Amino acid sequence: MSNIDTTVPTTVAPWRPRGSGGSGKGIRAGEGRAGWLFVSPMVIVLGVFLLVPIIMAIWVSTLEWNGQGSPFAGGAKFVGLHNYQSLLVTDGLARKDFMLSLRNTFYYVMFVVPLQTALALFLAVVVNQRYLKGRSFFRTAFYFPSVTSSVAITIVFLFLFQNSGAINKLLSFVGIKGPQWFADPRGLFQVAADKLGLVDIASPPVGLTGNGVLGLTWWDWISGPSVALMAVVFLVVWTTAGTFMLMFLAALQDIPVEVEEAALLDGVGAWQKFRYVTLPQLRPVLFLVLTLGLIGTWQVFDQVYLLGGGNPAKTTLTPAYLSYRTGFNDFNYGNGAAIAFMLFIIITALTLLQRYVLRDKDAIAEKRGRRAQLRGAGAR
Amino acid sequence: MKSSSGRRLAAVAATASLALLTAACGGGGFDNGGSSSSAPTTEKGPVALKMLIASSGDAETNAVKAATAAWAKTSGNTVDVQVAQDIKQQLGQAFAGGTPPDIFYTDAARFPDYAKAGALYAYGDQVTKPDDFYPALKSTFTYDNKFYCAPKDFSTIALQINNKAWKAAGLTDGDIPTTWDQLHAVAKKLTTGKQTGLAIGDTRDRIDAFMVQAGGGLTSKDGATITATAPENVQALEFVKSMLADGSAKFPKELDAGWAGEAFGKGIAAMAMEGNWIKGSQKNDYPDVDYQVAELPAGPKGKGTLLFTQCWGIAAKSTHQAASVDLVNSLTAVDQQLAAATAYGVMPSRTSAKAQYEQKFPEDKAFVAGGEYGVGPVNKPGFDSVLADLDTGLQGLKTGDPKAILASFQKNAEAALK
Kindly indicate the confidence band of residue B2, based on its pLDDT and cuts at 50, 70 and 90: very low
* Domain architecture of chain A: domains with CATH: 84-187+224-367 (1.10.3720.10)
Distance CA B208, CA B387 (A): 11
The CA distance from B307 to B205, in Å, is 9
Contact, B354 vs B384, CB < 8 A?
A: no
Provide CATH code, domain B156-307+380-417: 3.40.190.10
The yes-or-no verdict on residue B348 having pLDDT over 80 is: yes
Backbone torsions φ then ψ of B85, nearest 5 degrees:
-80, -45
Instruction: Give the Cβ contact number of residue A148 at 10 Å.
Output: 12
Cβ(B237)–Cβ(B207) below 8 Å = yes
A327 vs B4: CB contact, 8 Å cut-off?
Answer: no
Q: What is the DSSP string of A92-141?
A: SHHHHHHHHHHHHHHHHHHHHHHHHHHHHHHHHHHHT-TT-TTHHHHHHH
Give the chain A residue whose CA is nearest to the CA of B26.
A70
Give the H/E segment covering residue B314. Answer: strand B305-314
Q: Name the average pLDDT for chain A.
A: 85
Q: Residue A187 pairs with which residues in a beta bridge?
A: A226
Q: Does ipTM top 0.85?
A: no
The percent of residues above 90 in pLDDT, for chain A, comes to 34
Q: Which pLDDT does position B20 carry in this prediction?
A: 44
Q: Are strands B374-375 and B305-314 parallel, antiparallel or unpaired?
A: parallel
Helix locations, chain A, DSSP H: 31-46, 52-60, 82-88, 93-127, 135-147, 150-160, 166-173, 188-195, 206-210, 218-221, 227-254, 257-265, 270-272, 279-281, 283-298, 302-306, 319-324, 333-357, 361-379
Q: Indicate whether A91 pLDDT > 90.
A: no
Sign (positive/negative) of CA torsion B381, B382, B386, B388? Answer: positive
Of B3, B29, B415, which is closest to A93 when you measure between CB atoms? B415
Q: CA B296 to CA B6: how far, in whole Å?
A: 76
Of B130, B173, B170, B171, the C-alpha closest to B149 is B130
Q: Is 3.40.190.10 the CATH classification of the domain at B48-155+308-375?
A: yes
CA distance B411 to chain A (A): 8
Assign B195 to helix, strand or coil.
strand
Q: Answer yes or no: do A313 and B95 touch at CB < 8 A.
A: no
Between the ranges A69-73, A158-162, B287-291, B396-400, where is the mean pLDDT highest?
B287-291
pLDDT at B3 over 70: no
β-sheet bridge partners, residue B143 = B146
- Whether the Cβ atoms of residue B332 and residue B127 lie closer than 8 Å to each other: yes
Interface contact flag, B1 A73, Cβ < 8 Å? no
Question: Using one digit for the tens of pLDDT, what is the confidence trace for B174-231?
Answer: 999 999 999 999 999 999 988 999 999 999 999 999 999 999 889 887 778 899 999 9
CA distance B158 to B328: 29
Q: pLDDT at residue A327 above 90?
A: no
**Hey, what amino acid is at B26?**
G
Helix axes A227-254 and A135-147, enclosed angle (nearest 10): 130
Q: Which band of pLDDT confidence, cut at 50, 70 and 90, is reported for residue A25? A: low
Q: Is any Cβ of chain B less than 8 angstroms from the Cβ of A185? A: yes
Would you state the pLDDT for residue B58?
Answer: 85
Mean pLDDT along residues A295-304? 90
The reply to whether residue B119 touches residue A313, judged by beta carbons under 8 angstroms, is no
pLDDT at B109: 86
pLDDT of residue B313: 94
Q: Of A368, A311, A321, A320, which is closest to residue A344 (Cα–Cα)?
A: A320
Statement: residue B22 has pLDDT above 50: no
User: Measured between alpha carbons, how far is residue A291 from residues A235, A347, A351, A364 in Å?
Assistant: 19, 9, 6, 21
B93 three-state secondary structure:
helix
Helix (H, G, I), strand (E, B), or coil: what is residue B381?
coil
CB distance B5–A23 less than 8 Å?
yes
Please give the mean pLDDT across all residues of chain B.
Answer: 86
Better-predicted residue by pLDDT, A211 or A25: A211
Cα(B131)–Cα(B137) distance, integer angstroms:
11
Burial class (CB in 10 A: 0-12, 13-18, 19+), A379: exposed
Mean pLDDT to the nearest integer, A70-84: 84
pLDDT classification of B8: cutoffs 50, 70, 90: low
Q: Would an 8 Å CB–CB cutoff place A92 in contact with chain B?
A: yes
Between chain A and chain B, the number of residue pairs with CB atoms below 8 A apart is 129
- Is A167 in contact with A160 (CB distance < 8 Å)? yes
Q: Look at residue A331 and give its three-state secondary structure.
A: coil
Write out residues 27-46 of A within 8 Å (CB-CB) of B: 30, 32-33, 35-37, 40, 43-44
Q: Average of pLDDT values for A200-210?
A: 78
Q: Tell me: pLDDT of A70 over 80.
A: no
**Segment of A357-361, B187-191, B361-365 carrying the highest mean pLDDT:** B187-191
A69 and B CB contact within 8 Å: yes
Exposed / middle / buried, residue B228 (Cβ in 10 Å: 0-12, 13-18, 19+): buried
- In terms of average pLDDT, the best of A22-36, B163-177, B209-223 is B163-177
**CB distance B202 to A185 below 8 Å:** no
As a whole number, mean pLDDT of residues A104-130 equals: 93
Residue intervals of chain B classified under CATH 3.40.190.10 are 48-155+308-375, 156-307+380-417
Q: What's the whole-number mean pLDDT along residues A164-190?
A: 87
Cβ-contact A67, A331 below 8 angstroms: yes
The yes-or-no verdict on residue B31 having pLDDT over 50 is no
Mean pLDDT of B336-346: 87
Q: Do B21 and A73 touch (CB under 8 A)?
A: no
Output the pLDDT for position A380: 53
Mean pLDDT is lowest, of A10-14, B373-377, B412-416, for: A10-14
Which residue has better confidence, B198 or B257? B198
Residue A205: the pLDDT is: 81
Of the residues A23, A28, A68, the best mutation for testing chain B's interface (the one with the most B CB atoms within 10 Å of its CB) is A68
The predicted structure's pLDDT at residue B280: 81
pLDDT in tens, A226-270: 999 999 999 999 999 999 999 999 999 998 888 888 988 988 888
Please give the average per-residue pLDDT across A164-168, as a whole number.
Answer: 87
